[in-house]
Amino acid sequence: MSYEQPINQSPIGGLENIRKADEPCTIVIFGASGDLTSRKLIPALYHLYLDGQMPDSFRVVGFARRDKTDESWRMEMRESLAVHSRTKSVDDAKWDDFAKNLSYHKGDLTDSDAYTRLADRLQVYQNESLKNNLVFYLAISPSLFGDVVDYLHDAQLLKRWEEGDEFWQRVVVEKPFGHDLQSASLLNNHLLRHARERQIFRIDHYLGKETVQNIMMFRFSNAIFEQLWNRETIEHVQITVGETVGVGGRGGYFEEAGTIRDMMQNHLLQILSLVAMEPPPSLAAEDVRGEKVKALKSIRAMTPEDVAERVVRGQYFAGTVNGESRMGYRQEEKVDPESNVETYVALKLFVDNWRWSGVPFYLRTGKNLPMRASEVRVQFRPTPNVLFAAQGDLDLLPNALTLRLQPDEGISLRFNGKVPGNSITSRPVRMHFGYDSEFGAYTPEAYERLLLEAMAGDATLFIRRDEVETAWRIVDDIRAAWGDQPLTNREFYAAGSWGPMAAEELLANDGYVWHNPQPAE
How does pLDDT run along the chain (521 residues), one tens digit per residue?
444 444 444 433 444 444 567 899 999 999 999 999 999 999 999 999 999 999 999 999 999 999 999 999 999 999 999 988 888 788 889 999 999 999 999 999 999 999 999 999 999 998 999 999 999 999 998 889 999 999 999 999 999 988 888 899 999 998 888 899 999 999 999 999 999 999 999 988 878 777 777 888 889 999 988 899 999 999 999 999 999 999 988 888 899 889 999 999 989 999 999 999 999 999 888 999 999 999 999 999 999 999 999 999 999 999 999 999 999 999 999 999 999 999 999 999 999 999 999 999 999 999 999 999 999 999 999 887 666 655 656 667 888 999 998 888 888 888 777 777 766 777 777 888 877 777 665 566 789 989 999 999 999 889 999 999 999 999 999 999 999 999 999 999 999 999 999 999 999 999 999 999 987 65
pTM comes to 0.89
Q: Which residues of 488-510 are buried (b: 16+ CB within 10 A; e: fewer)?
A: eeebbbbbbbbbbbbbbebbeee
pLDDT of residue 358: 96
pLDDT of residue 259: 94
One-letter amino acid of 83: V
The structural domains of the chain, ordered by start, are 13-203 (3.40.50.720), 209-379+464-508 (3.30.360.10)
Residues contacting 30, CB < 8 A, separation 6+: 63, 64, 109, 136, 137, 138, 139, 140, 148
Query: In the chain, what is the greatest distance between 2 CA atoms, to the nearest angstrom?
Result: 85
**Angle ∠(435,437,440) on CA atoms, nearest 5:** 80
Q: How far is the C-alpha of 348 from the C-alpha of 307, rounded, in Å?
A: 9
pLDDT of residue 390: 57
What is residue 179's three-state secondary structure? coil
- Among 196, 193, 184, CA closest to 151: 193
Catalytic residues, which ones? 267
pLDDT of residue 13: 41
pLDDT of residue 71: 95
pLDDT of residue 162: 86
Helix (H) or strand (E) holding 80: helix 70-84
